[in-house]
Amino acid sequence: MKKLETKSCEEIMSTAYKPLAYCVDGLLTQGLYLLAGAPKVGKSFFVAQLAYHIATGQKLWDYEVKQSTVLYLALEDDHRRLQKRMCRTS
């Protein structure tokens, strides 16, 4: 069985970490995110818009975007609904 990796405060404080890599400058770093909120507030639309802009490298509002590969898992949508949403994001 693999042991849980632990680090002391001294180790953490003495480590030189790489700067964060932003997908959307000053707004969104690379990584995994969980977005939660009330129903029908636009979470899915917002994430689809983010994915579109990152995948195409187009500015998002006034933010510069670094073009990157995006994995968008729309587990509640069918292809027709995804197409409709993607047309609204461009």
Q: Is the dihedral of CA 19, 24, 30, 32 positive or negative?
A: positive
pLDDT of residue 11: 95
Amino acid at site 87: C
pLDDT of residue 89: 52
| Average pLDDT estimate for 56-63 | 94
| Average pLDDT estimate for 50-57 | 92
Could you give the angle at the alpha carbon of 28 between the alpha carbons of 21 and 49, nearest 5°? Answer: 130
Q: Are the C-beta atoms of residues 30 and 22 closer than 8 Å to each other? A: yes
Closest by Cα among 26, 20, 21 to 63: 26
pLDDT of residue 90: 52
- pLDDT band at residue 46 using 50, 70 and 90 as cut-offs: confident
Rounded to whole angstroms, the Cα distance separating 69 from 46 reads 17
- pLDDT band at residue 33 using 50, 70 and 90 as cut-offs: confident
Q: Is the pTM of this model over 0.85?
A: no
